[in-house]
Structures are given as structure tokens and as C-alpha cells.
Amino acid sequence: MMSWRKMFAVTAMISAAALVMTASAAERPAGAKRARGGAGEKAGAGAAGERRGPSGRAMMVVANFVVKEAGLEGEKAKEFLKAYRAESMEAAKRVAEAMKGDDQAARFKVRSANREALQKLLEANLSAEQAKKLGAIDLSGLESSVGALLTAKIEDAKLDQALAVLVKYHREIGKLYALPREQQREAFGKMKEMRADVAKELAPIVGEEVAKKWAETPRFGMGGRPPKQP
């Protein structure tokens, strides 16, 4: 059986590569209908088909969630989405670079740096209150969770309902990241039980099979076991 370290490494590498390829999807104007496939997905996709794939669509969903929660409109919304896309691209590059080696401490530092960079982006584009509220959510992990549901090809209406459950869960994950380092490993060690509870909330919305698969997917961003800290 693959160790959690190898599983984490493989997952992170795949996620980083997919994010780099699909990151421009987040620049779509807030409120626009999500592309789900077929002709609708091809429209405006660009030469590289950048809007395709669960990773890109997940980032688009989360970016527009932030826009909606912050009440951004017009040019402010467009500016935020452009900045979010750019930071996502840079974050993916940093993760990909860190994954080239086997330095767990370096990977932890990159993830911390990515969270700090995202917080700065929020603070630069939102009010202090909005940045604090939305920054308390593990947004990168939320992207992973949404991506897992999109991989299962659930309907838009179900995704909208599930998003509320996932936001609540990743707000709790955000609280764990705020703990002192010595307390984080103990807290993350209890994530299996927490994920099982969240899966019970998701099951009536997305189905038992999809909810179970989400709970069992070994993604650090979704609350899996964290890398060894320095």
C-alpha cells in the first residue's frame, strides 16, 4: 500500500499540474453560468481548452464564491478574479517546485507561504472585515473538495447545496491552520472522524457513494494528514 507521504506527493503534483493548465478559468465574470461540458464548455475556452477539467472549474467556483460573499461587482470583481487567477498560477508553481525534492519542511513552508500570499491578495482587494472573514476559510482546500465533487459530475444545483457544507468544513480547517505548530498535528490527526461527519451531511445532497469517496480521498487540502513540520 502506498504510504501517506507518497500519496500526498503524487496528489499534490497532479493538482499542481492541473491547476497550472486550467487556472485561467477563474477569470470568468462573477455570476456567469458554470460550463459543464459540450458546447457550453467549449465556448470561450481558448486554444488550449483552459476551462476544461475539474481543477479549473473548482477554482472558478471558489473564486466566484469569494466575489459573491464580498459583494464585488463590475470592474472590482474582474480585477479580483484576475488577481486570484495570477496568484493561483504562482501558488501552483511553488508547489510543483517543492514537490521535486523530498524535503517535507520545505513543502510545509511552501503551503504556509501560499496561504500568506492568498491572505495578502484578499486584503488588497477586499475590506479588512471581508478579508479576515474569507481568509479564515481554507480556500485552497475548498478548491480540492469542489474539484472532487466536479469529478463525480454532480449537477449544478447539488453542487450549490454542497458548497455550503464544504465552506463550513473548510472554515474549521482554517481554524486548525491558525493553531500553534505543536498543536496542529494532533488536531489534524482527528480529521478522519471530522470528515466522516461531513460526509454524512453531503450524502443526502450528492449521494452516499460520492460522499464516501470524498471522505476517503487522501488530499491534504481536504483535511488529510499534513506533511511533517519543521
Q: Which residues contact 37 (CB under 8 A, 6 or more apart)?
A: none
**Binning pLDDT at 50, 70 and 90, where does residue 56 land?**
confident
Residue 9: predicted pLDDT:
43
pLDDT in tens, 209-230: 999 999 887 554 333 334 444 4
> How far is the C-alpha of 38 from the C-alpha of 195, rounded, in Å?
33
pTM comes to: 0.70
Percent of the chain with pLDDT over 70: 72
> How far is the C-alpha of 4 from the C-alpha of 180, rounded, in Å?
23
pLDDT of 205 above 80: yes
Nine cell digits for residue 34: 458554470
Positive or negative, the CA dihedral 133, 135, 140, 141 is: negative
> How far is the C-alpha of 148 from the C-alpha of 199, rounded, in Å?
13
Residue 132: predicted pLDDT:
94
